[in-house]
Structures are given as C-alpha cells and as structure tokens.
Amino acid sequence: TVAPPAGTNFSTMNEYPLNACCDAFGQCGTTEEFCTNTNTGVPGSRAPGTNGCISNCGTDVVIGAKPSTYMKFGFYEGYNLGRPCLYQTPGQIDTSNYTHLGYSFGTLSTDYEVQIGDPLSMYTWDEFLRLEGPSKILVIGRWAFSTDTDTYNIFRQGVTAENRQTMANNIATFVKNSNVDGVCIDWEYPGAPDIPGIPPDSPDSGMNYLEFLKLLRTALPSNSQLSVAMPASYWYLKNFPVSDMSGVLDYAIFMTYDLHSTWDGGNQYSQERCSTGDCLRSDVNLTETINSLAMVTKAGLPSTKVVVGTTSYGRSFKMARAGCDGPDCMWVGSAGQSEAEPGPCTQTAGYLANADIEAIINNASRVTKQYLDSTSDSTILVYDDVQWVAYESDSLRDTRATLYQGINMGGVCDWAIDLQTCNEPPSRSNSWAEFISAVNVGSDPADVGNRTGNWTTLTCTDDAVTNIRGLTPQERWDELDCKDAWTDVISVWQNIDQGHDSLSFTESISDTLHGPENANCSQAGPLSNCEQTQQCSDFVGEGTGPAGYEIWNSMMYTSFIDAITGFAALSIDSSLSSFEDTFAPVPPPPSDEVAQLIIAFVTLGASAIAAPFFNSSKSIFKSLPYFAANPNILGIDKDLTSALITFGSNVAKDVITGGPGSAWTVEDQDSFSAYLGQIVFGCSNATTYTLAGLFNGSDAGITTLSTAIADSHFIEGNTGTPQTSTLSSETISDLEAAMTRVFYGFAIPLAWSATNKGVIVMDTGYTCDQAPLSADTLLELNLDTADGTQASSCYNNEIYYLVYYDTMDLQGESGDPPDDTFEPAPGSSDLDGTIWGTVTVDDIVKGAVRTYQQNGNENGGAVADPTHPGTLADLQNVDITTPGFIRIPVCSSGEAQNAVSPHYSNRINASDPNNPCVPLQGVTECESFTYTSETSSASALVSDCQDIINNIQQTTRLWNATLNIYIAS
C-alpha cells in the first residue's frame, strides 16, 4: 500500500470487497460480530468482549425505490425429459403465474457457440420458444458446466481479452435468431479458488467477467434483457464487481438457496454454533437470506435489480439419531457423500423435488413429523424415522415473495417449476414413455393424422413466403397449399382430438401446426394466447409448413377484425353533444391533468373491454406516457393499427396534448368530444368476449371459420391488407353495453374535473338506517336538495351525497351575500341507470369511496393500474367501481364546509385539485400568551384552550409554526 497523505482516514483505505464490515482488528465479514459498532467514544475503541466495527457497519438491507414491475421468474429445466419421471413440457407451464421464464440450460462449445443439448432438450427448447406471455430468457451455464473438468475452462477463457468479443457476439446472435427476450449468464463462480476437482481460478476473472458483460450488452438487441446469477455466499460473491455490474445488468438472479447441505461437513465456518458443519440446517434459512440481501445491496446492487431465489425442492439429510431433528442435531455422511434417500425422479441423494415431498406426505405411514420451523422460516419434514428435509411449501414460497416485495426487491425466482408437481402426458400421447420415445427417434408426438398435398414440404425461404410484394394473397394462399393444410388440421380435430377433454379446438390446431402453446381462442382473457400474429419461423418442424403461420394469422385477424366491424355505429358518438350539455355545460379550461386522465382512459377502457387482444409490442399507444413506461402492457399487431392510428394517435397529439396555447372553446370542446368518441371506438375494436361460438370446434363454428379464412381473405399480398367479417348483432350489443358503461363511468367524473365544478362525495356521518335525512339535517350539512334523496347514496351503511359548490355563488353576484350551499352534481338527476351506460349515482359514490379507502383514506390516489390483477379482474367484469377508476374527492361535511367558508379562506389551498375536500392549513402565526403562576390552583381560560382546538380541527395535524409559551413565576 502506498503511504497516504497526512490526515487520511485509514478505515477508507483498501476497502474490503462488497463493502463488507470490518472490525477494529482489521477482520472483515457480513455478520453481526463484524458489523456491530460498539465504539465507546474514543477513536478505534470498542466495548469489552466485542470486536467493534470501524467500516461499512450495519446489517440492514439497503432498500431502494419500488420496482415498476415485481418479477416472478420461473426456471424451467429443459433437460427434465431425460430423468426417470417428473416430466413437464413447456406447454404444460401455467404461464399466468410468471412474468419471466428461464430456459435452463444452454451451454457453450469450446469455440463459444451456443448449444442446447440432446434431442430431448432440443424438443423442449423448440416448444419453449412457442410460449406466449412471459418474457423468455435463455440461461447459459449452470454449476455442472462451470465445474466439470471438460467445461470449467470455457467461461474462464471466454471472458479474457482474447475471446470475450467472440463469446459475446455468438451469444447475442443466438438470442437474436431465437427471438428470445434475453439471456442470463450462470457462471458458478468467477475467481473461485477452492472448487473441488478443478484448478483455482484467476483472481482477474471477476473484472474480466464485467468487461465481457459490457460487450454482450452492446451486442444484444436494445430491448434484450441481460442478467447474471449471483451467489448468496460472501466467499464467492466477493469476486463479483457487483457495483460496476449493476450498471450493465437489468437484474441479477440472487441464489438464496443451497445455503446448507452436506458440503458443509468438516467446515468449521459453514454453520454458526456448529464447529463440525454437520448440523441439520435449512438451505433456505430466512435469517441468512436477509443477511445475504443486506450484503448484496450494500455492495451496490439496487434492491430493484435483486431477484431473490425461492425453491421447489428441498435439501435433505439422514439424521444421526431418530427423534433428534433440531438445528443442533447431526446428520450422517460426509462433505462428498450424502446418506439421505435419493428422490425417485431426481435420483440425487440430499435433493428432493417438492413433488417427491408431496408424494411422501400423501403416504401418512411414512410421515414422522412435519412443522414450520420459525427459526429458519422453513418447512421441515421428518419421514421414515431418520430422513429429514427442509423446503419451501407453496404457501411459504408465496409468503416469502410478499416479504421480499415489501422491501422493494425486484422480484422472486423459483428453481424450478418442473419440480413442483407431476404432470400427465401431453394430450396426444398415451404415456410419457411413448411421448419420450417419439422425441428420441426424431418424431414430434404432436404429429398425428394424415398430411395431404405438399404444404409440409415447403419452407420459410419459398417464394410464397418471401415475395409478399410480388404475389397476390390468393397466389400466396395457393402456392403455400393452405387449402390442404386447413383440411388436414380440421381432420385431426374431428377424427382424433375432438373427443379429448383436455384439448380445445384452437389447441388442436396449434399443436398440429406447431403454433403457440396453450392457445384457446374461445376463451376471452389474458390466457387465450390468441392475441398475436406470428412469423413463418414460429411454425417449423415435422408435419407442418409455412401454411401454418398464414392459417394461424387468419384466425387472429378474424378475432380482431370481427370485433372491429361491429362497432362502426356505436351510439356513444351521437350522444356526446348531449353529454356535454348535461355534465360539462361550460367549456373546460386547458388542463394537462385532464389530458393525462384521457390518456389513462385509453389504458383502462382497453383493459376493461379488450385487454386479451392488446398484448403486442408494436402498439400505436407506445407513444403515450403510460405505455412508454409500461411497454409490455397493451398493444395490437401492426397490420391492425391503421384505424386506431387515424382516430387515436393524430387526435391525441392535436387535442389532448394541445396545440400551442389556445384556450378551450366550444370548437375545442367539440374536438374533445370527438376524440373521446374515437377513443371509445378504438377500445371497442379489440373486444372479443363472445368469440366462443366461432372457436368452439362445433360443425357450425368450423363452417363459419372456414368461410372466413378461405381464399386468402386474411393474408397479405401485393393487393393490400386483410378485409373484415362481422360479429353477430347480439355480440355487438353486449360489447356496446360494456363499452358505454366503461366510457361514461370514466367520462362523467372527467367532465366534472375538466370544468372545475368541485364535485365531491360528501360523507354525512349518518348511517343508512337514518335515511332520508330531515330538512333540518340537510340545512345543517349545507345541502340544497329538493327532497333529501337526490344525489344521495348508501354504501357500507354510510350516507353519502354527490354534490358540488358553485364558485360564482361562493363569490356572490350583484352584491348578494356569498352562498356556500352544496348542490347536486350536474347531471346527477339523470344518473338513474337507464341512460349514460347505466351509470348511477350509487356507482359514482361507491367508486369514489373505494378509491379513497384504497389510498389510505386520503384523496389523490393514482389512476387504476390495469396491470394489477384485482383491477383487471374488476374491469373485465365491467365493474367501474374498481379503485382508481372513479377519482372524485371524498370528505366529511365539516371539511367541505370549512373549505368553502369565507372565514377560512386564508387557510385553504384553492388550487388543490381535491378542493373543497381539502383540510385547513395549520395556523402559521400564533398570538403570544404569558401565564403567570401564582402558586394557586388557577388555570388557563377555557376560551384559550378552545382556540387551540379550533386551530387544530380539520387540519392535517401537521404544523410549521413555532409556539412560544412563557411561564412567569
């Protein structure tokens, strides 16, 4: 170490890796003995019996901002078809449970080409690529690849200056060609000096790894995700330049599992209070996990980039003595040899899949004891007297996920989803043995039935695929032999799959054509997997051909465009002028807030009516603020955006964001209404709730569908884009009713907000059994209603009123005294459930109160987030009272009356958008008061105390004034 300048703080020199704590003796680590500061006041001092801490002290997790999306990353073992049992194909994954799926594993050859593996792995890889929904991530590496004698040196050499560009380019090319969403590098571990059986790694590997990742980041497509796996062990993590990596990575998989196993044996430092390392300890100990999270966040990885590991397996041991199963009890075996019973499917001693564990639990005769260990927060199962396993049950895994979300981690990952439960063989196979045998000999088990014509012999390089500009749709349809392909897929459905309960019509078509997994177009919802058109490369393999992608896209166009055509004459357009007269008779002033609310309606309306088919990354809504921040939420395929661009994007630029500086006029209001009408039309275009009849596989449905897609009606060519077909009038009516209710449920409060009407929901403080309120009570509440019931609503046994105050009356006209009476909200008398989308006063009140309550009984809550499961469920059920949809201020009558009272005009923030539901501001100037004690029982005057109370009432209870009280004796 070079001698530092005078005055240098020695504790800042040669800081230990990962910002670990260092004690007064110069020893460093991450546990309390190193991290607890016991300084007694003298520099370098420490309390007796402690090591003290002089650098990077503390063991708290560094909590950052909340992530925009909480990740649920599921690892899928692509090689699982090669084990004796516990199989799963990618098509059997419930994709709704995950935001990301990681295919494990890809590897690298010695010349750094990406490899997937044997025929079984290649099969699962191809099927994995056809999954829809979650981001698809290729995971390259694994423990075995990083440590086997044949392959350990590939990563070590690949990150060196001579090879890192080649390795980065090859991985990036594979990612691009495979069309996956990103890559995760799982190198275990750079710089490791002590992995058995292989030489120590160079201490330079950590920095070399960083330089490689920088090159890989540059080589990948700009929208690709890049991540790495990081160990939860300080010993191995210290070689990672964590802080520098955080600027390159989108997130890191933090492997907070395998914290303990037989490898602890003989290591006196591996377990606290167990010098021999052979005590029964959980591999998912929560205390140790939190300590590791503190370590990695202190090291410089933002909490939002930490994806915390959870498990669908457990680490097991054979107990040294029956009946002794606590953390101080021992296991038998050695660091290199477990005597625990192997799982029947994983066939690894000391490692049990959750599916294996559940099978044991279901055989009660084998279970000795099962309990939740509060110390480690792990589920413990003792079975067959001396077999012990610690694991995370499904409920515990969910609890952990909630815990990590509460400290703003980026998400959770699960190793591995194919270990969770046993699956039946796929629909077209009688057994797993038959299925796997077919894959091993190069056949696709999904290929059943006859193939006619030549459609399966064509490829994506044929002229009918590549020469779209040179051929008409009809020519392309004929050259791809789509007619024979359609005949074959229908034959497979009618003669083979139709009687199979677990296979829907569109799943049958998709399986035959090698299309998207789990497709069910008869189901409207985010799980339909019918929302996107596909490319030719998505339909490859034996028994299929390019005709497959055009047939599939034709079905998708039908789903989209059938919904579009039926809404050409929506009644909303013709009602907008009347709507303005009823709810917004005065043109609203310019308002960016109103513009943002209108943009938000695009989001909410689409989610409520058409979310299942708004899932493309090419949406025209990408230019709007909400979708720019949430790029994977809504969208439609580029071939269907022209209409939406016409009446959405252009008007949004000119009207919502506003041309430079014009005030709102009648003409502007007309444009505003026209824009709202176009938004309604745009949202309704994607509505597909009633497509079941078309896609249910019935003879009538097949006939209709065949007619619709026949003769190239829905494929591209040099004569234009697909034409449309029409939904039934009943379907149109249902969709129109849903759309109008959603529209007016949002537009009515929006109109009140835009015109600054000050509409509020007033909480009277009376219960519903006291209704109707008397005239005297209404007078006391400053309510001007004709019969005491107009604009009133009962919700949760509380009486509310939907009212507003007229600012002109408040100011007074022609010398008249001000009028602070609250009147029924404009148009509320029309909200009786017969017009305006059947929206009622009860709907408005309930929605406003639910928004207020969800925001912690405060106004100003955020607009409903359509990505939230509860919100999406409400909106898809056309429940406009979902929190955040109706955002009218809610307050007590006292708070509202104070806000409009001239007496408190200097204590009200009149510009607050929630006015008059705003608390009084605290008094900033107080009169002085001196109380002289005369050693008697005298006290301050009651009026003085009442003044203090009056100043506090109806405020936020927050003060910024200094109160000086002088007591003279």
Band (pLDDT 50/70/90 cuts) for residue 470 is: confident
Q: What is the pLDDT of residue 351?
A: 96
**pLDDT tens column, 82-94:** 898 999 999 999 9
User: Which pLDDT value is given to residue 289?
Assistant: 97
Highest mean pLDDT of the ranges 461-465, 491-495, 529-533, 621-625? 461-465
Confidence class of residue 662 from pLDDT cuts 50, 70 and 90? very low
Which CATH number describes the domain made up of 71-312+392-419?
3.20.20.80
The whole-number pLDDT of residue 339 equals 94
Crossing angle between the packed helical segments 571-583 and 729-754, to the nearest 10 degrees? 20
The string of pLDDT tens digits covering residues 404-457 is: 999 999 999 999 999 999 999 987 788 898 888 888 867 778 778 888 889 989
**pLDDT tens figures, 831-858:** 988 888 889 999 999 999 999 999 989 9
Q: Cα separation of 500 and 279, whole Å? A: 51
For residue 654, pLDDT over 50 is answered with no
Range of 396-400, 444-448, 639-643 with top mean pLDDT: 396-400
pLDDT of res. 909: 84
Coil, helix or strand at residue 255: strand
Start-to-end CA span in the chain (Å): 66
Q: Is the pLDDT of residue 78 over 60?
A: yes
Kindly name the residue from 77, 127, 132, 188 that is annotated as catalytic.
188
State the pLDDT at residue 863: 81
* CA nearest neighbour of 798 among 762, 840, 758: 762
What percent of the chain shows pLDDT beyond 70?
A: 71
The rounded distance, in Å, linking the Cα atoms of 449 and 435 is 16
Query: With 70 as the cut, is the pLDDT of residue 213 above it?
Result: yes
Rounded to an integer, what distance in angstroms lies between the CA atom of residue 112 and that of residue 388? 42
Residue 361 one-letter amino acid: I
Mean pLDDT of 224-231: 98
pLDDT digits (tens, 9 = 90+) for 15-29: 677 899 988 888 888
* pTM score above 0.85: no
**Residue 76 has what pLDDT?**
98
Query: Measured between alpha carbons, how far is 502 from 490 in angstroms, rounded to an integer?
Result: 17
Cβ proximity of 534 and 554 under 8 Å: no
Q: In the chain, where are the structural domains located?
A: 1-59, 71-312+392-419, 446-556, 571-686+726-734, 758-866+874-907, 929-968
DSSP result, 794-846:
EETTEEEEEEE--HHHHH-STTPPP---BEEPTTGGG-BSSSGGG-BHHHHHH
| Structural element, H or E, at residue 709 | helix 699-709
Tell me what pLDDT residue 836 has: 86
Angstrom distance (rounded) from CA 382 to CA 390: 9
pLDDT of residue 319: 97
Return the pLDDT at 963: 46
pLDDT band at 104; cut points 50, 70, 90: very high
Q: What is the spatial distance between Cα 215 and Cα 194, in angstroms, rounded to a whole number? A: 28
Q: Which helix (H) or strand (E) holds 707?
A: helix 699-709
Q: What is the pLDDT of residue 450?
A: 84
User: Does the structure show a pLDDT above 60 at 691?
Assistant: no
Q: Residue 184 — pLDDT band, cuts 50, 70, 90?
A: very high
C-alpha 906, offset from chain centre: 44
Q: Is pLDDT above 90 for 201?
A: yes
pLDDT of 907 above 70: yes
pLDDT at 542: 76
The verdict on whether 895 is a catalytic residue reads no
- Closest to 355 in 3D by CA, of 365, 366, 344, 364: 344
pLDDT-derived band at 372 (thresholds 50, 70, 90) equals: very high
789/842 Cα distance (integer angstroms): 12
Confidence of residue 96 (pLDDT cuts 50, 70, 90): very high
What is the model's pLDDT at position 913?
85
Which H or E run includes 497? Answer: none
Residue 749 has pLDDT above 50, yes or no: yes
Q: What is the pLDDT of residue 367?
A: 97
Region of residue 168 (phi > 0: left; psi between -120 and 50: alpha; otherwise: beta): alpha
Measured CA to CA, the distance from residue 552 to residue 535 in angstroms comes to 10
Q: Across all residues in the chain, what is the average pLDDT?
A: 79
CA pair distance 558, 722, nearest whole angstrom: 9
**Residue 477: per-residue pLDDT:** 86
